[in-house]
């Protein structure tokens, strides 16, 4: 085995987004494309020689060959050891757990999260730093800079290694250790939640459940924890086998894509609790019998009940939410007298707050919730939190949420996604919106008068870094809000997301249909941005 230096030329499109670099599989399969990006990542880092790297992914198409290439480049660049999930599998929160437990230098997660998988679909890579969280902007900016300047990469000339059997081997001077992908994560969960109580309630049948793994990475984790350790009935975890194409489905845990679970939970055969997770295991959807919990409400309910959960018995230090997420959790934080931080979308923005111990619970409206146990959002952790809460309170999901609304008020909330629209057109829409912002305050649209309008700017309270143009916010005097944002998680065209929120304190008005309750804001959003008129689309691609 010898180290080869391969001459190459840059690709212009390797700028990481909020969750790393995501492209179609065929883009990553271009000559030197993957190799260039991995070398650019390593060129952006300092002082990693002889240290440990974590490597794994969600099992989607191209994960396995990518792992072999990355191992050889890591060996050629001087890493001392790489920890690899068996079969190349590691959920994103489990990867964060492994990095933190083993004090690894960092890790590479191979995933495009909730995006479809397969030969003609999506692939992605992101780098996580030593705290277990996504690389901050100064590192991703350096990656992009190096990718634009790269002239050669280093790779070990060696045969592929077996990643399907646990154990250690050598790849040149570097050790490769294949680990059980579930062990460390399951151990951490057992220390955060009351597994004895859960075994009693689940094993007795009092707390029946269905978890939809969507043929994605959480299947092995959910089977181990929910069925084997906590005694859920066989078959409680459905679509449990990870597949390279996610069984032909779209591994996004919402009512549209997790339709099998949704149909069950709104049927007469529904168990007490239902949940789903996404491609890489960091998102979650929570359902009760005939009842859907919005991610914003889920975060707020979890915050209000954290003291009931063993791992959080001392209560809240502080909370954080992404800017587009509803302000339901703000009212909980205010009631407990703790700070609530509003950050841009992207889990990396929570990392500094968590490390500085300013918060111990955080979440975003895109079905992501997490805490200080790792530095990623964590789908199965959120499911266990809810199960523990149900076991303690011995109420239904619907009753818990309705009691929460009665105490704090209800935020009617929805997100309308317009996917794969022309990027130039999307940017034109935003340019027009931005230009109108200075004139908006004081304007009245129907019964809504604009109180504030801006393009969200975030200054990190820990390190002082600034992130500009993170989404357009329009707030109204009646407490309603519309947010417009271009998503950075797709691979084709642009996705325009419109977030709609109306606060209703009157408990007598908490049973309205969400879309009907937001009808005036939906119409106003179209008046302001004209996305339907300008694209010819008659309705959003997805409504959540």
Mean pLDDT value of segment 176-204: 98
pLDDT band at 19 (very low <50, low <70, confident <90, very high): confident
Tokens in use for 531? 């996305």
Mean pLDDT value of segment 111-139: 95
Which residues, 6 or more positions from 103, have their beta carbon under 8 angstroms from its beta carbon?
52, 130
- pLDDT at residue number 130: 97
- pLDDT at residue number 492: 59
Residue 312 to residue 310: CA distance in whole angstroms: 5
Catalytic residue among 44, 111, 113, 480: 113
Q: Examine the pLDDT at 493 and tell me if it is beyond 60.
A: yes
- pLDDT at residue number 491: 52
- pLDDT at residue number 529: 95
Residue 451 to residue 449: CA distance in whole angstroms: 6
Residues comprising the chain, all counted: 544
Q: Examine the pLDDT at 324 and tell me if it is beyond 60.
A: yes
CA dihedral 333, 334, 335, 338 (to 10 degrees): 60
Q: Examine the pLDDT at 239 and tell me if it is beyond 60.
A: yes
pLDDT band at 256 (very low <50, low <70, confident <90, very high): confident
Q: Which domains does the chain have, with CATH numbers?
A: 2-181 (3.40.120.10), 185-408 (3.40.120.10), 410-543 (3.30.310.50)
Q: Examine the pLDDT at 544 and tell me if it is beyond 90.
A: no
Told to judge if 113 belongs to the known catalytic residues of this protein, a careful annotator would answer yes
Q: Examine the pLDDT at 490 and tell me if it is beyond 70.
A: no
Closest CA to 258 of 325, 209, 211: 211
Tokens in use for 286? 């929570």
Strands 52-57 and 106-110: parallel
Q: How confident is the model over 270-314, as pLDDT tens digits?
A: 999 999 999 999 999 999 999 999 999 999 999 999 999 999 999
Which residues, 6 or more positions from 518, have their beta carbon under 8 angstroms from its beta carbon?
412, 413, 414, 500, 502
Evaluate whether 335 touches 408 at the Cβ level (below 8 Å): yes
Q: How many CB atoms lie within 10 A of CB 169?
A: 13
Q: Examine the pLDDT at 489 and tell me if it is beyond 70.
A: no
pLDDT band at 394 (very low <50, low <70, confident <90, very high): very high
- pLDDT at residue number 17: 85
Share of residues in the chain with pLDDT > 70 (%): 99
Which residues, 6 or more positions from 431, have their beta carbon under 8 angstroms from its beta carbon?
none
pLDDT band at 542 (very low <50, low <70, confident <90, very high): confident
Residue 16 to residue 331: CA distance in whole angstroms: 34
Partnered with residue 126 across adjacent β-strands are 109
Q: Assign residue 416 a region: left if phi > 0, alpha if psi is -120 to 50, beta otherwise?
A: beta
Kindly tell me the burial class for residue 159, based on how many C-beta atoms sit within 10 Å of its own C-beta (0-12, 13-18, 19 or more): exposed
């Amino acid at each position: 085995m010898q180290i080869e230096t391969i001459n190459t030329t840059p690709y212009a499109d390797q700028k990481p987004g909020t969750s790393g670099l995501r492209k179609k599989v065929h883009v990553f399969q271009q000559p030197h494309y993957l190799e260039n990006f991995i070398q650019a990542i390593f060129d952006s880092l300092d002082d990693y020689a002889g240290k440990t790297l974590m490597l794994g992914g969600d099992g989607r198409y191209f994960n396995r060959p990518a792992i072999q290439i990355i191992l050889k480049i890591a060996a050629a660049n001087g890493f001392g050891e790489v920890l690899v999930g068996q079969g190349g599998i590691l959920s994103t929160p489990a990867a964060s757990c492994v990095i933190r437990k083993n004090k690894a230098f960092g890790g590479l997660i191979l995933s495009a999260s909730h995006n479809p998988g397969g030969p003609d679909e999506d692939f992605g890579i992101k780098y996580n730093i030593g705290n277990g969280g996504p690389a901050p902007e100064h590192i991703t900016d350096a990656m992009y800079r190096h990718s634009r300047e790269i002239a050669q990469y280093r790779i070990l000339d060696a045969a592929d290694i077996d990643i399907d059997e646990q154990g250690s081997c050598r790849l040149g001077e570097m050790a490769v250790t294949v680990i059980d992908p579930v062990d460390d994560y399951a151990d951490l969960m057992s220390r955060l939640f009351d597994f004895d109580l859960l075994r009693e309630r689940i094993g007795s049948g009092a707390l029946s459940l269905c978890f939809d793994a969507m043929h994605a990475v959480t299947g092995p984790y959910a089977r181990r924890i929910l069925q084997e350790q906590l005694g859920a009935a066989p078959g409680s975890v459905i679509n449990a086998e990870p597949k390279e194409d996610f069984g032909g489905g779209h591994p996004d845990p919402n009512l549209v894509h997790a339709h099998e679970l949704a149909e069950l939970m709104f049927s007469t055969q529904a168990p007490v609790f239902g949940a789903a997770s996404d491609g890489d295991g960091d998102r979650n959807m929570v359902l009760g019998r005939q009842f859907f919990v919005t991610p914003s409400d889920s975060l707020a309910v979890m915050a209000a009940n954290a003291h009931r959960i063993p791992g959080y018995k001392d209560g809240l230090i502080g909370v954080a939410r992404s800017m587009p997420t509803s302000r339901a959790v703000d009212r909980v934080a205010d009631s407990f007298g703790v700070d609530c931080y509003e950050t841009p979308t992207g889990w990396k923005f929570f990392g500094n707050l968590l490390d500085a111990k300013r918060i111990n619970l955080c979440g975003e409206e895109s079905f992501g919730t997490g805490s200080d146990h790792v530095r990623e959002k964590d789908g199965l952790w959120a499911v266990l939190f809810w199960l523990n809460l149900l076991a303690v309170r011995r109420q239904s999901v619907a009753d818990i949420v309705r009691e929460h609304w009665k105490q704090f008020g209800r935020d009617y909330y929805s997100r309308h996604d317009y996917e794969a629209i022309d990027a130039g057109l999307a940017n034109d829409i935003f340019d027009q919106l931005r230009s109108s912002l200075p004139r908006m305050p004081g304007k009245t649209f129907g019964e809504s008068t604009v109180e504030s309008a801006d393009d969200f700017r975030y200054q990190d309270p820990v390190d002082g870094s600034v992130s500009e143009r993170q989404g357009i916010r329009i707030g109204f005097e009646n407490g309603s809000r519309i947010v417009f944002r271009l998503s950075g998680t797709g691979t084709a065209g642009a996705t325009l997301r419109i977030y709609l929120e109306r606060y209703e304190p009157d408990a007598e008005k908490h049973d309205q249909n969400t879309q009907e309750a937001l009808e005036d804001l939906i119409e106003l959003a179209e008046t302001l941005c004209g996305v339907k008129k300008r694209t010819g689309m008659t309705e959003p691609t997805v409504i959540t």
